[in-house]
Structure 1
Amino acid sequence: MDVKITPSNLNGTFYAPPSKSQVHRFLICAYLSGEKGIINNIGTSKDVFATVSALKSLGLICKESVKNNGEVVFEKREVINNNPTVNCFESGSTLRFLLPVASALGIKCTFTGTERLLSRPNDKLVQVLNEHNADINGYTLNGKLTNGIFKIDANISSQYITGLLFSLPILDGDSEIILENDVVSKDYITLTLDALQKFGITIVEKDNGFFIKGNQKYKFLNNLSVEGDFSSASFLLTAGAIGGTVTAKNLDYNSKQGDKKIIELLKEFGANVEIKENEITVSKNERNAFNFNAKSTPDLIQIASVLACFASEKCKISGVDRLKIKESDRLNGIMDFLSKSGVKSKYLPDELIIFPSNPVGNTFNGDNDHRTVMSECVLSTYSSGNSTILGAEVINKSYPDFFKDFTLLGGKTNVLF
């Protein structure tokens, strides 16, 4: 699906979609409990579908409903002995979270997914699992994880650490995670710890890692509703900062989500920001230059790059190197869409310098990346001249209703098949 964007100003109110990051974590914790319970407001994104589908392959018995913006009613977890194939589609979270989980449960199975997903770096995770009897060959599991000391490179992906945090509490015996090198995306680990606490799991944080008591039991203590997603809401809120007034409902500023840092960035940019209970309004005011350290929030880099196009002076975004190993080479994608819009940028080691100008419309490639497409939409709506975004259907990975909300706020789109 290709979409034509005609310039306009965005104004109005939308409901932030569910936090995909929180959905993944709640679903896996609920699965590990094996108990009855309900999680609602899970949404309809492809990545969430990937995790539900994978958990079913691993023995989850549940019922799904469209009520309450997507609801999963958990029944039980069955023992699996049929060597299932577990398809993670394009979801890195699904794969990296469930490899350790399946290993801890001793489920013999084979994980699969898209070529891009399976090419992303997972060797360090597999290595540490194999050091503890997982017996993983490629993505086929044949062993059962044992407790001990898990030394993991924390500079590649926080998803490795989350996968271990899910898995180690159910092993026979205590374990320790030792984090080597600087931790990236640390805020996502905080989100994991919050989910574990909600399911009765105790994790002890240490200076260089975590101590995990073994033989713990996940407990589905309460039915849960997923929070609104700051990461997804960041695109339309940024549109408000550039040239309108946009309110996002279903956002809790007290959330543990790291991507709520978008609010501080928009304030630094000079936008007016009003925070109320479960809603945030952002409106155009000043357009100041900014320096943004995105080491802990890499999912904000693309939309921060768009924001920089409209600043008064050059902007710097640091912590960008990890974008090369995301759903696409996001760093190259950013520099490409900036160049096509007439905005100059310069790459330095782990930094991107952006020199603001007056962006012009063009034809942009979505790069099979949901965040690239949504960023290009915001850039296009405030550029001079019409734009076309190719492969825009990829938004279904995280925010299927993005174009619905975009047009609700006054965005002008024309779908070109």
Structure 2
Amino acid sequence: MDQSVPPGRVRGICIPPCSKSYAQRALAASLLAEGTSRLHNIEFCDDTRSAIRCIEALGARVRRTGERTLEIDGGLSPAGDKLYVGQSGLSTRLFTPIASLCDTPIGVVGEGPLLHRSFRTMIRTLRALGVRVHDRNDHLPLHIQGPIRGGEVQVEGLVSSQFITGLLLALPIAEEETTIHVPHVISTPYIDITIDTAERFGIEILHKDYKEFYVAGGQRYRPAEFEIESDWSAAAFLLVAGAVAGEVTIRNLSVLSRQADTAVMTALVRAGASVIDEGDTITVAHRPLQAFSFDATQCPGLFPALAALAASAEGTSVIKGTSRLENKEGNRAESIREEYAKLGIEVDLDEEDTMKIRGGRIRGGHVHSHDDHRIAMSLAVAALNADTPVVIENPACVAKSFPDFFERLESLRTAE
């Protein structure tokens, strides 16, 4: 069913969902820890459910002991020969290396847009580490058989932090120590999240400027009590809503977080929004917005939120890092260009690795989410400043990361 988002003002207080980046990593670490771990403040978006299915398929026993609490008995022991990752790129890149610790054959199966993503770098690196991999021209489904042995490996090309995350969480259990050379790693804040999570489960991972990682083999994960922090990726859309259409206060959100999308604060300030930081409470309010420049190479998930911000700013905003979007939910940069054009906003992708957005009058109309949760949320926030309602096709895709996004946005509306 389509979602109609009328223009209007917003004002209110909101608590964002938990970080799925932290949640998925903590679930993986809980699988690898012999004993019982407890995860608190976890929310059940599609990506988190995908990770739960993965750890159960690989041997974990998961119990829900509260509305947002899981108790997990760890232990890597595959229950079958299939690993279903749904539409989650992170689950694929995270749990394929972990499944490669096993000496039994396992099929990695996905669905939807994920089937069109290339996993070439992951496949080649796993083979170099002794894993047998059968693939479909670098795409899912994959058939793998370990055990991954460790050693020394060079990972070529621009490397997703998601795949490095999978290696860094799996390799401490390998028999051999491992040195990973990564000339062109990207999204280093997400690697910081991985290392932080591993440390909290008793694992040591060393690196030299994110270009060389050293992982001792034969380590043991310890069970942990783990509180999942709030999600900056989700909060970014609500903060931008405040900047373009009123005032929004977000609670339980730390600016000291390792999450990459804390960088949205910089973009909001550059655009001229009022930003008040009170520790774990942030308030963003509308002021006349001007065009801004921003490098999103290390935080590519921010592009859709920044597009909504730029559409309501006067002038042409310049956002660097579009090369990071080519293998995300299709081609996210092209999706942004196509859908914002329907709203009368010009998005220029002609310059290499750059998105230019000319802000101005936002028209209402029909748009499509491209089955991309962030595109759907971006268009909904932009709709707050449109001259007539914006109707979004396939809005249900927000369930991937923020299932009640539209309800939260509606709760912030003020009476005209």
TM-score (norm 1): 0.94
State the number of aligned residues. Answer: 407
Q: Is the 8 A contact 1:97 1:159 kept in 2?
A: yes
Corresponding position of 1:73: 71
Corresponding position of 1:359: 362
The DSSP-based 3-state class of the residue aligned with 1:150 is strand
Per-residue CA deviation, residues 268-301 of structure 1 (Å, 9 max, x unaligned), is 1111111123221101123122111000000000
Corresponding position of 1:259: 261
Corresponding position of 1:47: 47
% of aligned pairs identical?
Answer: 29
Would you say 1:234 and 2:236 are equivalent positions? yes
Corresponding position of 1:153: 156
- What is the CA-CA distance between 1:370 and the residue it aligns to? 0.4
Work out the CA distance in 2 between the residues paired with 1:122 and 1:140.
13
Per-residue CA deviation, residues 293-339 of structure 1 (Å, 9 max, x unaligned), is 00000000011011111222211011012212111321111101221
Work out the CA distance in 2 between the residues paired with 1:189 and 1:387.
37
Give the 3 Å change call, closer, same or farther, for CA 56–383 of structure 1 in structure 2: same
Corresponding position of 2:187: 185
Work out the CA distance in 1 between the residues paired with 2:361 and 2:306.
16
Per-residue CA deviation, residues 256-277 of structure 1 (Å, 9 max, x unaligned), is 1110101111111111111123
The DSSP-based 3-state class of the residue aligned with 2:83 is strand
The DSSP-based 3-state class of the residue aligned with 1:325 is coil
Work out the CA distance in 2 between the residues paired with 1:141 and 1:101.
11
Aligned pairs (5 A) from 1:337-376: 337-347=339-349, 348-376=351-379
Work out the CA distance in 1 between the residues paired with 2:112 and 2:239.
33
Deviates more, 1:198-207 or 1:300-309: 198-207
Equivalent position to 2:212, from 202, 209, 212: 209
Q: Is the 8 A contact 1:83 1:110 kept in 2?
A: no
The DSSP-based 3-state class of the residue aligned with 1:104 is coil
Equivalent position to 2:327, from 307, 311, 325: 325
Work out the CA distance in 1 between the residues paired with 2:18 and 2:214.
31
Work out the CA distance in 2 between the residues paired with 1:327 and 1:385.
28
Give the 3 Å change call, closer, same or farther, for CA 376–65 of structure 1 in structure 2: farther
Corresponding position of 2:128: 131
Work out the CA distance in 2 between the residues paired with 1:77 and 1:224.
17
The DSSP-based 3-state class of the residue aligned with 1:218 is coil
- What is the CA-CA distance between 1:78 and the residue it aligns to? 5.5
The DSSP-based 3-state class of the residue aligned with 1:37 is strand
Q: Is the 8 A contact 2:312 2:382 kept in 1?
A: no
Deviates more, 1:362-371 or 1:342-351: 342-351
Equivalent position to 2:289, from 278, 287, 290: 287
Work out the CA distance in 1 between the residues paired with 2:37 and 2:167.
24
The DSSP-based 3-state class of the residue aligned with 1:77 is coil
- What is the CA-CA distance between 1:116 and the residue it aligns to? 2.2
Q: Is the 8 A contact 1:150 1:176 kept in 2?
A: yes
Corresponding position of 1:143: 146
Work out the CA distance in 1 between the residues paired with 2:308 and 2:62.
41
Q: Is the 8 A contact 1:58 1:84 kept in 2?
A: no
Work out the CA distance in 2 between the residues paired with 1:265 and 1:107.
48
Corresponding position of 2:139: none
Work out the CA distance in 2 between the residues paired with 1:405 and 1:285.
22
Structure 1 residue runs without a partner (length 5+): 413-417
TM-score (norm 2): 0.95
- What is the CA-CA distance between 1:76 and the residue it aligns to? 3.4
Aligned pairs (5 A) from 1:309-324: 309-324=311-326
- What is the CA-CA distance between 1:193 and the residue it aligns to? 1.0
2:287 is matched by which residue type in structure 1? N
Aligned pairs (5 A) from 1:3-42: 3-42=3-42
Per-residue CA deviation, residues 356-407 of structure 1 (Å, 9 max, x unaligned), is 1111111010110100000000011111111100000111000011011111
Would you say 1:386 and 2:389 are equivalent positions? yes
Per-residue CA deviation, residues 129-171 of structure 1 (Å, 9 max, x unaligned), is 1122210112111231111012113514111111110111111
Work out the CA distance in 1 between the residues paired with 2:46 and 2:359.
34
- What is the CA-CA distance between 1:15 and the residue it aligns to? 0.8
Corresponding position of 2:410: 407
Q: Is the 8 A contact 2:116 2:330 kept in 1?
A: no
- What is the CA-CA distance between 1:411 and the residue it aligns to? 7.3
Work out the CA distance in 2 between the residues paired with 1:385 and 1:30.
48
Work out the CA distance in 1 between the residues paired with 2:355 and 2:303.
10
Aligned pairs (5 A) from 1:93-172: 93-138=90-135, 139-153=142-156, 155-172=158-175
- What is the CA-CA distance between 1:21 and the residue it aligns to? 0.4
The DSSP-based 3-state class of the residue aligned with 1:155 is coil
| Higher RCO structure (Cα 8 Å, ≥6 apart) | 1
2:77 is matched by which residue type in structure 1? V
Structure 2 residue runs without a partner (length 5+): 136-141
Corresponding position of 1:415: none
The DSSP-based 3-state class of the residue aligned with 1:394 is helix
Work out the CA distance in 2 between the residues paired with 1:41 and 1:113.
27
The DSSP-based 3-state class of the residue aligned with 2:48 is helix
Corresponding position of 1:377: 380
Equivalent position to 1:268, from 250, 267, 270: 270
Q: Which runs of 4+ in 1 moved over 4 A?
A: none
